[in-house]
A and B are shown apart, each in its own frame.
Chain A
Amino acid sequence: MDKLKQWLKTITLYEILVGMKTTLAHLLHYKPITLQYPHEKRTLPENYRGMLALLRYDDGTEKCVGCDLCEAACPSRVIRVVSAEVPGEPTKRYAKEYYMDMTRCLFCGMCVDACPVDALGMTREFEWAVYDKRQLHLNKQQLLAIGDRSFPVREKRLELQHPNTAFFNVAFKHVPQKPA
């Protein structure tokens, strides 16, 4: 009996008809899940990991202390930091140069986790398609600019924050300032 049923299903193309019924049902109850991308954009989740940026304190000084921990944490070797002493203050360091090769970045966020002074942030920018790959090789000024436009409200300087901050976690007024 089962065999007869199977055979009947085969010769009447039953399985195919079931599939065709499904597609027809989708045609009749048409509910597209498409977003017409350039015209409408999806709402990003709260913890979206987009373009990386360097951050500043609210008075415009850079947070980065040039510790190289982000470079060490990065699995794709995106980041290159050239650390230097703050002129006249031998105990303090800052990132003289800071490069990110965003063609290799996989947006894992490990550098952000590694940063002891929260100088790195992940913005919600994702529309970074360019015609020339070299435009994705970003320097410090560009990364700071991304941070400025993505985080207009910044934290206070550390000495005005919580007292339990690490010793090296100090910012400087005389190293590169935010352009006026």
Chain B
Amino acid sequence: MSELGLRFTLSLIQIAVVVAIVIVTVLILTLAERKVLGWMQDRMGPMEVGPYGILQPFADAIKLFFKEDIVPAGANKFLFTAAPLLALIPAFIGFAVIPWGPDWTVEFNGIVIKPFVISDINIGILYILAFASLGAYGIILGGWASNSKYSLLGGLRSAAQVISYELNVGLAIIGVIILAGSLSLVKITNAQSGWFWHWYLFALPAPQVFAFVVYVISAVAETNRVPFDLPEAESELVAGFFTEYSGLRFAFFYLAEYANMILVSCIAAAMFLGGWNAPYPGTIFDLLGLPSLAWIENTMWFAAKTYFFLFLFFWLRATLPRLRYDQLMRFGWKVMLPIALANIVITSIAVYLFPNA
């Protein structure tokens, strides 16, 4: 096999593993969300399919798979078909630069690969932001192509919201980028090794607490989750931009929403909470003399941090009512944006004054 072919194969294996993990996580999330919401509201959540309803995601998947695929009259067929893909692909493509485990390199037949990140490109976080912005196209095109006023209103709201909050996401992580001096997520995570006060949430000289809060709030808004779920406000707009979608196309939008949630959780874990680094230096497996198994511990720490953020999404959804649209916009532009900008200024000054802290 030629070198190119081998490289290609290895990459494809990595991609397949990552996509499989993400899809399995989405399956778990759809159940976990309904269960956690139910428990928080003194209900039980799904209980019918399988013991305690654990097979509910499969029942939902089978149902969506066999539903009739309806294209509404007067819809733009090409864009109507393209919109779910335009939403889904940017949501999945961002996982290419997320480091899941330690920054190891493995040599295989003369080819050096990093097993825990598909591609360590030096503009990692910028790449994710760029593709996340493309996701807004899927939403607004889906809303427009459906030929329905609810879809169009939902799509317009969503586009405005995603754009204004993506700005805050971008500005919030600039503080971390200044501290790390790199856009690569691998390098940013490596720089946070050691005790947990080296995580950029707490790190000197400029703890990114405000940036973290701004990031989390904006991430919730960017993924269109409660309390910022105005694009799909079911009490006003039926289902927002995917009102007219059914069957597999609806499943694609659903998958994209949950994949986006996982993606922003991964970024938050990698940028503010040290990614795969444990809160103590090194790993327990290193101390036990099994350094080749250390990746298990590191991956578990990454998963734990990501799942904490996913739980936070459910927790917020169980607690908070939806914002009004003008409140949402005012909050984004007049509160979040100045905090993020001030954070950049303060971080820059701190890094300039204490370059070695």
Q: Are A19 and B320 in touch, CB under 8 angstroms?
A: yes
Distance of A22 Cα from B316 Cα, bound (Å): 11
Interface-lining segment among B12-20, B39-47, B283-291: B39-47
Asked if B319 lies at the interface with its beta carbon under 8 angstroms from chain A, I say: yes
- Give every chain A residue within 8 A of B316 (Cβ-Cβ): 20
Distance of A108 Cα from B42 Cα, bound (Å): 32
Asked if B318 lies at the interface with its beta carbon under 8 angstroms from chain A, I say: yes
Question: Contacts A20-B315, A36-B47: A26 and B42 contacting too (C-beta < 8 A)?
Answer: yes
Asked if B153 lies at the interface with its beta carbon under 8 angstroms from chain A, I say: no
CB nearest neighbor in A for B47: A36
Asked if A4 lies at the interface with its beta carbon under 8 angstroms from chain B, I say: no
Distance of A26 Cα from B318 Cα, bound (Å): 11
Which single member of A16, A23, A32 contacts B43 (CB below 8 Å)? A32
Q: Are B39 and A27 in touch, CB under 8 angstroms?
A: yes
Q: Are A19 and B319 in touch, CB under 8 angstroms?
A: yes
Q: Which of B308-357 contact A (CB under 8 A)?
A: 315-316, 318-320
Question: Contacts A16-B320, A30-B39: A23 and B315 contacting too (C-beta < 8 A)?
Answer: yes
Contact-residue size bin, chain B (C-beta under 8 Å from the other chain): 10 to 19
Asked if B36 lies at the interface with its beta carbon under 8 angstroms from chain A, I say: yes
- For B39, B43, B315, which residue has the most chain A Cβ atoms within 10 angstroms? B39
Question: Contacts A26-B39, A27-B36: A32 and B319 contacting too (C-beta < 8 A)?
Answer: no
Asked if A24 lies at the interface with its beta carbon under 8 angstroms from chain B, I say: yes
- Give every chain B residue within 8 A of A27 (Cβ-Cβ): 36, 39-40
- Give every chain B residue within 8 A of A129 (Cβ-Cβ): none
Mark interface residues in B42-72 (1 if CB within 8 Å of A CB, else 0): 1110010000000000000000000000000
Q: Are B40 and A23 in touch, CB under 8 angstroms?
A: yes
- For A13, A22, A27, A34, which residue has the most chain B Cβ atoms within 10 angstroms? A27
Which single member of A13, A20, A26 contacts B41 (CB below 8 Å)? A26
Asked if A31 lies at the interface with its beta carbon under 8 angstroms from chain B, I say: yes
Asked if A33 lies at the interface with its beta carbon under 8 angstroms from chain B, I say: yes
Q: Chain B interface (Cβ within 8 Å of chain A)?
A: 36, 38-44, 47, 213, 315-316, 318-320
Can you sample 29 A-B contacts with CB below 8 Å? A13-B213, A16-B319, A16-B320, A19-B319, A19-B320, A20-B315, A20-B316, A20-B319, A22-B319, A23-B40, A23-B318, A23-B319, A24-B40, A26-B39, A26-B40, A26-B41, A26-B42, A27-B40, A30-B39, A31-B42, A32-B38, A32-B39, A32-B43, A32-B44, A33-B43, A34-B42, A34-B44, A36-B44, A36-B47
Q: Chain A interface (Cβ within 8 Å of chain B)?
A: 13, 16, 19-20, 22-24, 26-27, 30-34, 36
> What are the 7 A-B residue pairs with the smallest beta carbon separation, nearest first?
A23-B40, A19-B319, A23-B319, A23-B318, A34-B44, A32-B44, A27-B40
Known A16-B319, A20-B319, A34-B44; further 16 A-B contacts with Cβ < 8 A: A20-B315, A22-B319, A23-B40, A23-B41, A23-B315, A24-B315, A26-B39, A26-B40, A26-B42, A27-B36, A30-B39, A30-B42, A31-B42, A32-B43, A34-B43, A36-B44
